[in-house]
Amino acid sequence: MSAKRRTIFKILLVILVLAVLFAGVYLILLYTGWWEKLNSVDKLKNFILDLGIWGRVFFVFLQFLQVAFLPIPSPIVVVAGTLIYGAFQASLLSLAGILLGSAVAFAIGRIFGKKVVVFMVGKETEKKWSIYLSNAKYSFVLMMLLPFFPDDVLCMIAGLTDMSWTFFMATQLITRTIGVFTMSFLSAGDIIPFSGWGLYVWIMLAILAILAIYFSLKYNKQIENFVYKITRKKSKNTKENKLNN
């Protein structure tokens, strides 16, 4: 067997294994009724509580899965964890699972290459974000902070670029910590209460969130181009400074 055929065979084998893994996990969740529970805060909360001491392990594993493999909405998992363990503990548990999942997503891109990533996220998606991340590395930091971008997909595609593990994990540690702790403490009502003056603030935040979603959908390309231009200019200046020094 030629080297080219061996490479193709390995890629097809990896795709087959991943496809079987994803299908297996999904069917197990669907058959056991867990999938329905994973998409409801109350049902997820009760399910984790029923696990007792293993609930924390399951919670970390669930956060890992939602980043690396399964399309489970992250806010649902974070809010459920906050209701069970409190804001601080839920933040730490969420962060552990999300960082692990992010590292695995990056490793998939770095180790298995473009064809596997295209299989998982689609050709157009891979092409679009690869261009962004290859030409402006600092776009990745802003994209992970802003709510308009597909964080988990970006982690996988980042593995296809020349981004180092150090830069990737440092970005994840900073941006994910900010996002997870903010979501946990807001949902716990420790910062903004769910009564009194807090009700007016929550109404304003809800309106702002609706407007943000609306404008992000309507002006998605403009937002992406704006972030791209800013970070590309930053990357260019950084490279010029290195050359001058």
pLDDT tens string, the chain, 245 residues long: the values are 555 555 555 555 555 655 555 566 556 655 656 555 555 556 666 777 777 788 888 888 888 887 876 666 677 777 778 878 888 888 899 899 999 999 999 999 898 888 888 888 888 888 888 877 876 677 788 788 876 677 888 899 999 988 899 999 999 999 999 988 888 888 777 677 767 787 777 778 777 767 766 666 566 667 667 766 776 666 666 666 666 66
Q: Where are the beta strands (DSSP E) in 92-228?
A: none
> What per-residue confidence (pLDDT) applies to 149?
75
Read off the pTM: 0.67
Query: Of 103, 165, 153, whose CA–CA distance to 123 is shortest?
Result: 153
* pLDDT score for 95: 92
pLDDT of residue 99: 93
Q: What is the pLDDT of residue 115?
A: 85
- C-alpha distance from residue 236 to each of 57, 135, 242 (Å): 44, 9, 10
- What's the confidence (pLDDT) of residue 136? 67
Let me know: does 133 contact 231? Beta carbons within 8 Å: no
